[in-house]
Amino acid sequence: MEPTATVQRKKRILSGIQPSGTPTLGNYIGAMRNWKMLADEYDCFYMIADLHTITVRQEPAKLRAQSTQMLALLLAIGLDPEQNVLFFQSHVHQHAEMAWLLNCFTYMGEMSRMTQFKDKSAKHADNINCGLFTYPVLMAGDILLYQADLVPVGADQTQHLEICRDIANRFNGLYSNVFTIPEGYYPKLGARVMSLQEPTRKMSKSDPDDSFIGLLDTPDVVRRKMRRAVTDSETEIRYDPENKPGVSNLLSIYCALTGESMDNVVASFSSKGYGDLKNAVADVIIDTLSPIQTEFHRYMADKSYLESVWRTGAERASRIAERTLSKAMKKIGFVAK
């Protein structure tokens, strides 16, 4: 008799990035790099979160250009569009619909506790819109639509992931198991890459140019930004995020990109100065970014290929998203079409 093969479904990943500017080294180390690393083991959906960007005003032409560039960058870091589903959030209408449903299962008090809402409303005091307030609900829908088991993100998304789990558990409690409860996946080193100018804050693409490394920065720009990176008035190179946030950030970037252990790296710099460390970090960043940039320009020169990738991605994503949305709508009590 033939042995019966049990085919197990691969676990699923969903993650996303906003096309609100050129991604930073923080986005790369905290999230994008892990997307590539996990691609073989999981069934992966990677989304360009364009709907999320309009919680802050966007210039239409710029948003369009940045979105296309983001897709080219995802391909350039090595994500194979056959193996992974790469898509624009706005091409899959189920995201907006799921967000409405979940809005009705989320409390105002929960949303007002979100630190990102507090930060962004302070930064954009003239435009504290309802989308900004319910942003985490849209994000919860993104994840739940795909029944994702794992969500690889940086540490700044922890609170959003927690609320996603809360909403999913609440919904499941009311209607029996509709949604998979997702887990976060955070890198051991680099879950929070810090600003080069204010190393107690996270590196962010919306901060002044000198405070972050953009994935498309040229070698000259990388070296200049590294030279200007804030350190401290001591000379000793050691890992101590509390007292030496600038130096520790540079060490973390170095370890994350080379894969070397912190102890070895600190030992190798024991007789060296901050200038040497900055040069070494600049070198590994340039080595990492160069091949990505070459690939990026190649993909950007082939618009029809990019278009075929986003069309196929939207179709594949919609099929899964529709399945979950219909299930949730049926449970709530809407009449089936």
Query: Which residues form the catalytic set?
Result: 120, 202, 205
Smallest separation, CB 232 to ligand TYM (Å) = 20
Taking the least distance from each CB to ligand TYM, the nearer of 17 and 314 is 17
Taking the least distance from each CB to ligand TYM, the nearer of 78 and 268 is 78
CA distance 32 to 292: 12
Footprint of ligand TYM on 163-202 (CB under 6 A): 191-193, 202
Residue 173: CB partners within 8 Å, gap ≥ 6?
none
Footprint of ligand TYM on 49-78 (CB under 6 A): 49, 52
Residue 214 pairs in a beta bridge with 24
CA distance 226 to 232: 14
Among 97, 110, 156, 295, binds ligand TYM (CB under 6 A): 156
Smallest separation, CB 273 to ligand TYM (Å) = 26
Residue 146's closest CA among 37, 12, 34? 12
Residue 309's closest CA among 46, 122, 29, 110? 46
Say how many C-beta atoms besides its own lie within 10 A of residue 165's C-beta: 18
Footprint of ligand TYM on 132-151 (CB under 6 A): 139, 142-143, 151
**How distant, in Å, are the alpha carbons of 1, 7, 9, 11 from that of 4?**
9, 9, 16, 21
Taking the least distance from each CB to ligand TYM, the nearer of 52 and 278 is 52
Could you tell me how many residues of this chain bind ligand TYM (CB under 6 A)? 25
Please identify which residue in the block is written with the tokens 């102890």.
263
Smallest separation, CB 2 to ligand TYM (Å) = 41
Say how many C-beta atoms besides its own lie within 10 A of residue 218's C-beta: 13
Tell whether residue 249 is a contact of ligand TYM (CB under 6 A): no
Taking the least distance from each CB to ligand TYM, the nearer of 18 and 69 is 18
CA distance 105 to 134: 12
Smallest separation, CB 23 to ligand TYM (Å) = 7
Q: Which amino acid is at 251?
A: L
Smallest separation, CB 28 to ligand TYM (Å) = 8
Q: Which positions touch ligand TYM (CB under 6 A)? A: 14-18, 26-27, 29-31, 49, 52, 139, 142-143, 151, 153-154, 156-157, 191-193, 202-203
